[in-house]
């Protein structure tokens, strides 16, 4: 196998084996020497992730009491304090098009998630594509996957490629792994490999060894770490497949989905980070929970069904339990993901330095089905274009589309207007 092109490795180098197409992370050896491209390659194109959590939040446990820098982290956001320099809390924003003539609970919930990234009222003419898909049109066309849509629960979608086409969101980590690192092997071949406990990496061992002999020390270490991450995820997926829980007849639970929410969440975020690291994709969406979900998160210590608990009737004891659940979601999803990104080298920094991560909900006080002020976080460095460490007050009633405009601007996507925006939020 020929690895070198001219005097450097191709950025799109893929190691191929039986049923394997292993993309590689950015290595110094992939940078052309003595060229402007080399300087720019040190700061990669920023990636985008949009992470949705249903049913809003207990806002007085979410929103910091002071504005600007130096704010104190609230109980719900406390797990994010280690990432202060790469995190902004964005307050006062509104999702006006989630309000509608149909005030039923189901309609309000459905609009919360479907409008969150489109900022367009359903049923009022052609809607725009969602924020992630607009970004994918500009920064995702030179990657194997323009975008990646994931979920931790079956249900709706937040990603729309066309006005009438919500993109399906994949729930099963094993399926995601095969999509990222498989190479068109048949279902039978995959089953045989899994039965023999064979790793995808086994089929490219020789090519990896040959490549490593050609790499400088820093690149060898980076490649070894990346391969260890891939193998560790595969090992965890094999444990899930072998778990006795998969022998139980549980309705609507696909084989390969961990019974533990925490393990399922970690697997999905690890896969997203690997996909970014190898630039298989630069644009990702993930639904932590669908609207009207009654999943029970026993690992949080709260055993009430999620949707039922979100209708707390302003009873303080119920709000306290919902706040505990909010903090659990923040810690097991956003905090875990940011730590993973911060610890993953990328170009002249880390994946966290070269990303924009939006986290939040289309609801505020779900007991009232309010759509303002929304709980929102904006993290990452956007490859040098996004400052962190701030509690940003947008001004009550500011449409979330103004934030969408700002995100597209940080990604260098040339879009002047989005949804029902009235401007661009200064972030």
Domain ranges of the chain: 1-42+185-256, 47-171+257-427
pLDDT for the residue 334: 98
pLDDT for the residue 38: 41
Nearest to 360 by CA among 341, 347, 373: 373
pLDDT for the residue 252: 45
pLDDT for the residue 195: 57
Q: Which two tokens stand for residue 242?
A: 């072998």
DSSP SS3 for 377: strand
DSSP SS3 for 264: helix
pLDDT for the residue 189: 58
Q: Which two tokens stand for residue 157?
A: 């979608």
Ranges assigned E (strand) in 148-253:
148-151, 160-162, 165-166
Backbone angles phi, psi at 320, to 5 degrees: -60, -40
- Divide the 427 residues of the chain into consecutive groups of 10 and give the mean pLDDT of each group: 50 76 82 48 85 97 97 98 98 93 82 92 71 96 94 93 84 90 63 60 82 88 90 86 53 65 96 94 97 96 96 96 98 98 94 98 94 97 97 96 97 89 94
- Please state which architecture CATH assigns to domain 47-171+257-427: 3-Layer(aba) Sandwich (3.40)
Considering Cα of 413, then 418, then 423, then 427, what sign does the dihedral take?
A: negative
Contact predicate 358/49, CB 8 Å: yes
pTM: 0.88
Q: Residue 6's Cα: distance from chain center in Å? A: 36
pLDDT for the residue 419: 87
Q: CA 264, 115, 74: angle at the middle one, nearest 5?
A: 60
């Amino acid at each position: 196998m020929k690895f070198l092109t001219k005097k450097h490795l191709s950025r799109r180098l893929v190691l191929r084996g039986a049923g394997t197409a292993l993309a590689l992370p950015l290595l110094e050896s992939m940078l052309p020497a003595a060229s402007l491209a080399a300087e720019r390659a040190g700061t990669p194109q920023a990636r985008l992730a949009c992470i949705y959590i249903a049913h809003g939040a207990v806002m007085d446990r979410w929103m910091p009491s002071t504005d600007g820098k130096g704010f104190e982290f609230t109980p719900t956001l406390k797990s994010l304090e280690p990432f202060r320099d790469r995190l902004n809390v964005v307050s006062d924003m509104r999702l006006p098009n989630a309000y509608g003539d149909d005030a039923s609970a189901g309609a309000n919930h459905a609009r919360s998630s479907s409008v969150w990234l489109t900022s367009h009222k359903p049923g009022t003419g052609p809607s725009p594509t969602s924020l992630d898909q607009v970004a994918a049109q500009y920064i995702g066309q030179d990657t194997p996957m323009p975008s990646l849509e994931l979920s931790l629960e079956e249900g709706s979608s937040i990603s729309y490629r066309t006005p009438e086409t919500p993109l399906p969101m994949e729930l099963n980590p094993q399926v995601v792994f095969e999509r990222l690192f498989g190479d068109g092997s048949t279902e039978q071949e995959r089953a045989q490999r899994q039965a023999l406990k064979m790793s995808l990496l086994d089929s490219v061992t020789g090519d990896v060894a040959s490549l490593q002999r050609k790499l400088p020390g820093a690149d060898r270490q980076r490649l070894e770490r990346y391969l260890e991450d891939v193998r560790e995820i595969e090992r965890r997926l094999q444990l899930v497949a072998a778990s006795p829980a998969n022998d139980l007849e549980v309705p609507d639970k696909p084989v390969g989905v961990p019974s533990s929410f925490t393990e399922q969440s970690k697997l999905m975020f690890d896969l997203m980070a690997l996909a970014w690291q190898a630039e298989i994709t630069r644009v990702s969406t993930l639904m932590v929970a669908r609207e009207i979900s009654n999943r029970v998160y026993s690992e949080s210590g709260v055993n009430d069904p999620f949707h039922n608990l979100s209708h707390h009737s302003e009873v303080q004891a119920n709000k306290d339990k919902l706040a505990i659940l909010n903090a659990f979601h923040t810690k097991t999803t956003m905090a875990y993901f940011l730590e993973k990104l911060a610890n993953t080298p990328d170009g002249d920094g880390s994946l966290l330095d070269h990303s924009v991560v939006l986290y939040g909900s289309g609801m505020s006080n779900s007991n009232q089905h309010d759509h303002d002020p929304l709980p929102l976080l904006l993290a990452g460095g956007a490859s040098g274009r996004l400052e962190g460490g701030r509690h940003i007050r947008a001004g009550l009633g500011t449409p979330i589309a103004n934030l969408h405009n700002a995100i597209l601007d940080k990604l260098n996507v040339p879009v002047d207007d989005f949804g029902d925006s009235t401007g661009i939020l200064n972030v």
